Chain A
Amino acid sequence: MKLFTTHHRALGVLHLLLSLAAVTIGTLLSLVMRIHRVWPALAFPFHGQIKPEDYLALVTMHGTLMIFFVLTTAPQLGFANLVLPEQIGARGMAFPRLNAVAFLLTVLALALLLAAFFVPQGASISGWTAYPPMSAIAGAGPGEGTGMDLWIASIGVFCIASWLGAVNMLATILGERRAGMTWSRLPMTVWAWLITSILTLLVFAVLLAAVVLLFSDRHLGSSFFVPAGDLVNGVVVGRGDGSPLLWLHLFWFFGHPEVYIAVLPGMGLVTSLFANFANRPVIGYRTMAAMLVAIGFLGLVVWGHHMFVSGMNPYAGTAFALTTMAIAIPSTVEVLGWLSMLWGGGLRLPTPMLFALGFLSFFIAGGLTGPMLAQPALDSYLHNTFFVVAHFHMVMAMAGVFSLFAGIYYWYPLMTGRLMNETLGKIHCWISVIAAWGTFFPMHLSGLAGEPRHYERLTGPATTFSAITANERGITWSALLLAAAQLIFLWNVFVSARRGRLAGHNPWGATTLEWAPETALGRVQRAPYQYEIGVNQMKFHPQWESASKQE
């Protein structure tokens, strides 16, 4: 496959391969962390024992890789390039060359990020949130010198790449729709991409500004984030009177909508899959689409719930708690909509549907702890404990990754003309569901026991957390199983490309335009998801078939 291409489907596959590389590295890093937590004395080949700063560098790199290069890249630029133009009946993306530039910049950003492992003192240790003054001052710890500079450069380039991708997506959705593709005929995935591209434009701009200010604090002598008289490592570094809280506000104004950027495309995709495999129309199409929009825009006003105990005014804490609680309502509408689509039974359960159901399971589990963490009174115990780690790994990481798997199994025929092996797919899904539950559910218990995040060891001068060591061991074994199960997926992806069963035309009996035969390039005829409710018979009316033909 060519690296320099402007064809949207090829770029989609390239983005997915980039995410595959990032997710592989990110997973290996997390396994090293899990192993270190349980067997701290173990020496790793080519490295030796994990030092405290190594552990924190692993945390930073795991978070950055997964959030930016997997959960932002794959569901948006990966899947959108793969099917968005076809789904709206466009000939291609609006700006093919911009699209290619966005991909190459993402590759550059990934290379800059990974380079931090090979510079003196290694990668940054201040976490993916890079709070100053730690991130603003090279003397604050190992990795805060060159490692942090590379992190800033990588995120800056990534912001620009996402921006270009989002401009392209938005222009395509707004301007390139086929005649007859009205707003109420858009597939739910397109609604999701419409919202995420608007969110990306709004919030990555703020993140870019924030990292530029941080760079300026580090190298140009400004003092946006460092207060007067700040004394780090024996040196008074505070010159002006900046405030670390400014970074928190800028960062989380990006950081919270980022969660929705990661998960909304998955929500759109599973809505389509539930309709497809339950052979039912989407219940309340307009409501479901409107709720996606509501989640997107409420998502812009909840960032303060990451800051209840950060020193922010407690009255602001109340305001952000209420907006956060409000976002539970559209999310609940979505979940109830999905559940009632499924309730009739008679579901077909091929691998993409199983993964979509897995998504729903994790989305519910992680979603329900959301309203708990939205309460500042509870958050003042749970903040920065493993309860939060469990929450976001459920609702963003696992739900996000399961929707990625669902999409890959579902759209694989569009990439290769073949289907992935169903037996292997189902084994992969069931092991992953069970191991993911085994990994992330017990983390709630560690969190309730008070175990904070970012601890490279469980025993400290004042506490031993002896009550949760067995729990931690279970999590590690489960994480190892979860990672091992992904080998089945890798095998399936690469072998099925050559030897998979030929898919033929429209293998899933879907109604959206990405499955239309090339000869059917007329006006869009009808709304998506026109599946007919009948007893044990499949009847559906694709968007490319005219109503009169069916009569």
Chain B
Amino acid sequence: MRWNLLAVCVCFVAAHVWLIGAMLRRKRTTRGSDASPQNGETESRDASRHLRWTLLAALCCMYLWMAVTAQGLWAGSRYAGPSPAAMQVEVVGEQFQWYFRYPGPDAAFGSTRPDLASAASGNPLGLNPRDARSHDDIVSSVLVLPAGREVDLRLRSIDVIHGLFIPSMRLKENAVPGLVLHVHFTPTTPGTYPILCSHVCGLGHARMQAVLTVVSSAEFDAWLASHARARSEQPSQ
């Protein structure tokens, strides 16, 4: 990003210096002697053509460099899936709230049914009580992750298109109803980071925010254990 901004700024300033320079030159330039204006014109035209071709070639090289580096980064983050050891977390967007579901000790997400979903009755995602895999699933409104471990986010939306945006992780992907999308990343520095919605989703769009808390793995285990305990004390939904 930094190199891109720099390259773009240089081009921008150069073009504007050229533009303003041209506006300030009240007198026409003609290179070559008055005796042979025709030759002089041809020469200067040739010089200007060479200059144009050189500039065009240089700019094309810049575009090529941008394309190649960007594709490298893109392929690195999106072409390959996460490592099999990555932690699984499901992110669900709903007007106007983010939910984060952890699969629990059985390491499997239980099935959901839209007709069961109701935030008022404590089951915002519509976990299916008849599916044993859902009994240990933990649903949180905060995304808590251990530092240094790769995480594989499983993105869904219940109603309309939302955009999961974690600016400090440079991560953005839409949550699209009907699709399950995966993005993966590795948080490294413990701290608290905002999670925003980056796709207009209705009147509460601007307040559809959550928090990502990155903690040490010991703290994370403790957090998960306390939620698992709370979950097992609840009657199964």
Q: List residues of A whose CB falls within 8 A of some B CB.
A: 51-53, 56, 59, 125-127, 131-134, 137, 140-142, 226-234, 236, 238, 241-245, 283, 309-311, 314-315, 317-318, 321-322, 325, 328-329, 332-333, 335-337, 339-340, 342-347, 349, 357, 360-361, 364-365, 368-369, 371-372, 374-378, 380-381, 383-385, 450, 452-457, 460-463, 533, 535-536
Q: A126-B200, A127-B200, A332-B60 are in contact. Are A376 and B66 (CB under 8 A)?
A: no
CA gap between A420 and B203 in the complex, in Å: 45
- Asked if A343 contacts B18 (CB within 8 A), the reply is yes
A513 to chain B, nearest CB (A): 27
Return chain A residues, CB-CB under 8 Å to B179: 227, 243, 245, 311
- Nearest A-chain residue to B4, judged by Cβ: A372
- Asked if B202 contacts A134 (CB within 8 A), the reply is yes
- Asked if B67 contacts A325 (CB within 8 A), the reply is yes
- Asked if B199 contacts A384 (CB within 8 A), the reply is yes
CA gap between A360 and B201 in the complex, in Å: 36
- Asked if A342 contacts B19 (CB within 8 A), the reply is yes
B146 to chain A, nearest CB (A): 20
Could you show 13 A-B contacts with beta carbons less than 8 Å apart?
A: A52-B203, A140-B202, A142-B203, A245-B179, A318-B75, A342-B18, A345-B25, A347-B22, A375-B70, A384-B163, A384-B198, A455-B205, A460-B196
- Asked if A333 contacts B170 (CB within 8 A), the reply is no
Return chain B residues, CB-CB under 8 Å to A127: 200
Return chain B residues, CB-CB under 8 Å to A346: 25-29
- Asked if A56 contacts B205 (CB within 8 A), the reply is yes
From 123 to 171 in chain B, residues with beta carbon under 8 angstroms from any chain A beta carbon are: 126, 158-161, 163, 165, 167, 170-171
Other contacts beyond A229-B114, A311-B176, A343-B21: 4, CB < 8 A: A134-B161, A309-B173, A325-B63, A462-B195
Q: A134-B202, A315-B79, A457-B206 are in contact. Are A463 and B194 (CB under 8 A)?
A: yes
- Asked if A310 contacts B176 (CB within 8 A), the reply is yes
Return chain A residues, CB-CB under 8 Å to B237: none
The residue from A137, A228, A336, A453 contacting B200, defined by CB atoms under 8 A apart: A453
Return chain A residues, CB-CB under 8 Å to B86: none
- Asked if A365 contacts B12 (CB within 8 A), the reply is yes
- Asked if B177 contacts A238 (CB within 8 A), the reply is yes
B186 at the interface (CB under 8 A from A): no
B43 to chain A, nearest CB (A): 13
- Asked if B60 contacts A329 (CB within 8 A), the reply is yes
- Nearest A-chain residue to B44, judged by Cβ: A344
- Asked if A381 contacts B167 (CB within 8 A), the reply is yes
A401 to chain B, nearest CB (A): 19
- Asked if A455 contacts B178 (CB within 8 A), the reply is no
B188 at the interface (CB under 8 A from A): no
Q: A376-B70, A377-B77, A535-B28 are in contact. Are A462 and B209 (CB under 8 A)?
A: yes
Q: A227-B177, A384-B199, A455-B206 are in contact. Are A342 and B117 (CB under 8 A)?
A: no
A64 to chain B, nearest CB (A): 14
CA gap between A56 and B208 in the complex, in Å: 15
Return chain A residues, CB-CB under 8 Å to B79: 314-315
- Asked if A339 contacts B18 (CB within 8 A), the reply is yes
Return chain B residues, CB-CB under 8 Å to A230: 114, 158-159, 177-178
- Asked if B210 contacts A462 (CB within 8 A), the reply is yes
Q: Chain B 18-55, CB within 8 Å of chain A: the 1/0 string?
A: 11011111111110000001000100000010011001
CA gap between A325 and B78 in the complex, in Å: 20
CA gap between A245 and B206 in the complex, in Å: 23
Query: Lowest 8 A-B CB distances belong to which pairs?
Result: A227-B178, A345-B25, A375-B70, A346-B28, A377-B73, A450-B167, A462-B194, A314-B78
A383 to chain B, nearest CB (A): 6
CA gap between A365 and B9 in the complex, in Å: 9
Number of B positions contacting A (CB below 8 A): 85
- Asked if A309 contacts B172 (CB within 8 A), the reply is yes
CA gap between A166 and B72 in the complex, in Å: 42
CA gap between A315 and B181 in the complex, in Å: 14
Q: A333-B56, A343-B18, A461-B207 are in contact. Are A383 and B160 (CB under 8 A)?
A: no
Return chain A residues, CB-CB under 8 Å to B178: 227-230, 238, 241-244
- Asked if A310 contacts B174 (CB within 8 A), the reply is yes
Q: A339-B19, A384-B163, A453-B200 are in contact. Are A317 and B195 (CB under 8 A)?
A: no
CA gap between A533 and B28 in the complex, in Å: 9
- Asked if A536 contacts B206 (CB within 8 A), the reply is no
B76 to chain A, nearest CB (A): 8
CA gap between A426 and B236 in the complex, in Å: 74
The residue from A131, A335, A368 contacting B161, defined by CB atoms under 8 A apart: A131
Q: List residues of B whose CB falls within 8 A of some A CB.
A: 1, 4-5, 8, 11-12, 15-16, 18-19, 21-30, 37, 41, 48, 51-52, 55-56, 59-60, 62-64, 66-67, 69-71, 73-75, 77-79, 95, 113-115, 117-118, 126, 158-161, 163, 165, 167, 170-174, 176-179, 181, 194-211
A162 to chain B, nearest CB (A): 26
- Asked if A133 contacts B161 (CB within 8 A), the reply is yes
B38 to chain A, nearest CB (A): 10
- Asked if B202 contacts A141 (CB within 8 A), the reply is yes
CA gap between A179 and B145 in the complex, in Å: 74
CA gap between A240 and B4 in the complex, in Å: 44
CA gap between A133 and B157 in the complex, in Å: 11
Return chain A residues, CB-CB under 8 Å to B11: 364, 368
- Asked if B203 contacts A56 (CB within 8 A), the reply is yes
A289 to chain B, nearest CB (A): 17
CA gap between A453 and B113 in the complex, in Å: 32
CA gap between A137 and B21 in the complex, in Å: 55
- Asked if A371 contacts B51 (CB within 8 A), the reply is no
Return chain A residues, CB-CB under 8 Å to B69: 375
CA gap between A207 and B47 in the complex, in Å: 47
Return chain B residues, CB-CB under 8 Å to A283: 48
Return chain A residues, CB-CB under 8 Å to B159: 133, 140, 230-233
Q: A346-B27, A371-B63, A371-B66 are in contact. Are A317 and B78 (CB under 8 A)?
A: yes
- Nearest A-chain residue to B178, judged by Cβ: A227
CA gap between A357 and B63 in the complex, in Å: 25
Q: A134-B202, A228-B178, A375-B70 are in contact. Are A360 and B51 (CB under 8 A)?
A: no
CA gap between A347 and B19 in the complex, in Å: 11
B214 to chain A, nearest CB (A): 14
Return chain B residues, CB-CB under 8 Å to A131: 160-161, 199-200
The residue from A226, A345, A375 contacting B74, defined by CB atoms under 8 A apart: A375
CA gap between A53 and B77 in the complex, in Å: 36
- Asked if A376 contacts B74 (CB within 8 A), the reply is yes
CA gap between A46 and B191 in the complex, in Å: 46
- Nearest A-chain residue to B113, judged by Cβ: A229
- Asked if B160 contacts A134 (CB within 8 A), the reply is yes
Return chain A residues, CB-CB under 8 Å to B197: 452
Of B41, B60, B75, B196, most A-chain CB atoms within 10 Å? B196
The residue from B41, B48, B52 contacting A533, defined by CB atoms under 8 A apart: B41
Return chain A residues, CB-CB under 8 Å to B19: 339, 342, 357, 360-361, 364
Return chain B residues, CB-CB under 8 Å to A450: 165, 167, 196
Return chain B residues, CB-CB under 8 Å to A365: 12
Of A142, A229, A317, A360, most B-chain CB atoms within 10 Å? A229
